[in-house]
Amino acid sequence: MIKEAILHMPLSQYAYALNENELVIRIRTAKDDMDSIYLYFGDRVAYVEPIPVTKAKLEKTASDDLFDYYEAHIKTSYTRVCYYFLLSDGNEKLYFYSRGFVEKMDAHRTEYFQFPFIRREEVINEPEWVKDKVMYHIFPDSFASGKRELRNESINTEMIQNKLGGTLRGVIENLDYISDLGADLIYLNPIFKANSYHKYDTIDYFEIDPLLGTKDDLKELVEKLHSKGMNIILDGVFNHCGPDFFAFKDVIENQDNSKYKDWFYCLNFPIDYSDPPNYECFAYVKEMPKLNTSNPEVRKFICDVGRYWIREFDIDGWRLDVANEVDHDTWRAFRKAVKEEKKDAFLIAEIWEDAETWLKGDQFDSAMNYTFTYLCRDFFAKNMISASVFDEMIQKSLMRYPWPVTLSQMNFLDSHDVPRFLYYCDNDIRKLELATFYLLMAPGIPSIFYGDEGFITGSTEPEYRAAMPWDKLNTYLSDKLRSWIKIRKDHPALRYGDYKCIRTDAEGLYIFARECKEERVLILINNSDKEKIVTLSEKENNGKGCTINIPCYGGLII
């Protein structure tokens, strides 16, 4: 038994509550090292000694390159639970508890692993509506200015600018297009008054950028979305502001005498507004001075912004920019403020790395799943990893968070900050198509970046934020998107189901199952340039053996 590989962490993704009467308990072991694992749990404040314990078998639910993951769902009337494990590798049996490993379990209950109290307030409670959604991600300046059109002209004033002329009105006039695809959650990059075309250097958090439209336009957009059963989240930029934000302008004018000097993080006087600046910014961009979010005044300001757009315009949530550089207490306060306005508002963090610290139920509901993006790039686009390695890395990523959080992750192939996925495919449309198919079949919320269906490509900012190709959208990928989104919405297993690898081979075959209590579906992927003939056993295919042809770079669901 490889003891050093064994890991369990109470009150983490390895032990969490689904509700007040159900716990999920996980344990990690070395790969292919265990014969069986059992959980023993009981009431940690029981009157009798030793306490009665209930035995439950853990099932292997995932495997990555190094480890296996076992899991048990236990339903209990106990509000306070203690537990330990019995592990067997076929040769050796050991009990595992908070202090380590023993051959005989005679430790007191206080030395077991503990779930101190299943508090209803601390159950991870994702907004239920989001798991059924397919997101359409829009960079406003690049999308539309009218019905199936974009002006493709720039405006530069003394303070604000755009490049391509997209507007909120353009989004409104093309809701039928988005709805027809099957997408029903719009994520808009920033729309508030800002200096640059990308709007990440905010001037006024309470005003719509006049080049994008008006508050009335936003109200109309939200109302029309809701009337169609669709939702919208906006982009909030609170790590930093723009150079013309009122507080920073005051600092520039009054320097060390400014009453807003404590609104910013690590200022040095006199302020040197040059490249590089002598004050803290987003990266080293002088136009984006970093806000001191732990300042109570700044924190209240941020929470007031979060409340305002929900209360006055009924938006459905926020995607929060550079979330990993803002203090945690601000996000806790922001969550509380926003959820008071709309209990089921959806909060997504822009975090490029693993986001466990932010996804414990007290800050965010979801994060941008860049790990998913990188793995799809390496497998589908670049063919750098095999199907088995892809599966191992996907399985590892699925074990990062409690399952309700995993189902709410924002999955995407590309975004406004990275090259288009088609670029990584060397413009091979078949690879983009197969990766998009997988995106719609995988656990999490699939997000389609505007124009992928029109084959936008490129590696530089002007290229991957290019104009929506309205004259090139009658593509077979658009048709397949409609079909795949409908399939996802028709099959609860694709939205809520577990994920299990069935088979891989060295030539790009990847078969996995999604299963929930209602159904089990099988997804077959052929990530190669040759047709595959696959024979499925009765065990693999719900008791029905069959032979299936999968075209090159093709995906099927059965």
Query: Looking up tokens 């995993």, which residue turns up?
Result: 406
Determine phi and psi for 354, rounding to 5 degrees.
Answer: -60, 140
Report the C-alpha gap between 304 and 311 in whole angstroms: 10
Q: Which residue, 141, 131, 431, 556, is CA-closest to 452?
A: 431
**Would you call 350 a catalytic residue per the annotation?**
yes
Residues 133, 231 contacting (CB under 8 angstroms): yes
Structure tokens at 508: 């790009």
Determine if the peptide bond prior to 492 is cis (ω within 30°). Answer: no
- Kindly state the helix (H) or strand (E) to which residue 520 belongs, with its residue range: strand 520-526
**DSSP secondary structure string, 358-395?**
G-SSSS-SEEB-HHHHHHHIIIIIS--S-HHHHHHHHH
Which residue is catalytic, options 321, 365, 391, 433? 321
**DSSP secondary structure string, 343-360?**
TT-EEEE--SS--GGG-S
At how many degrees (to 10) do helices 328-341 and 296-313 cross?
30
Q: Is 93 exposed, middle or buried (0-12, 13-18, 19+ CB in 10 A)?
A: middle
Q: Which residue, 437, 447, 441, is CA-closest to 346?
A: 447
- Kindly state the helix (H) or strand (E) to which residue 533 belongs, with its residue range: strand 532-536
Residues 141, 150 contacting (CB under 8 angstroms): no
3-state helix, strand, coil in the chain (%, to 5): 30, 25, 40
Report the C-alpha gap between 12 and 320 in whole angstroms: 23
**Would you call 321 a catalytic residue per the annotation?**
yes
Structure tokens at 297: 């005044």
Q: Report which DSSP code applies to 401.
A: S
Q: Is 371 exposed, middle or buried (0-12, 13-18, 19+ CB in 10 A)?
A: buried
Q: How many CB atoms lie within 10 A of CB 546?
A: 12
Q: How many CB atoms lie within 10 A of CB 76?
A: 18
Q: Which residue, 387, 554, 548, is CA-closest to 480?
A: 554
Report the C-alpha gap between 84 and 106 in whole angstroms: 11
Give one word for 508, left, alpha or beta, with left for phi > 0 and alpha for psi -120 to 50. Answer: left
SS3 226: helix
Contacts of 360 (CB under 8 A, 6+ apart): 124
Q: Which residue, 532, 520, 357, 513, is CA-closest to 442?
A: 513
Let me know how long the chain is. Answer: 558
Which residue is catalytic, options 217, 235, 316, 350? 350
Q: How many CB atoms lie within 10 A of CB 277?
A: 18
Just list the catalytic residues: 321, 350
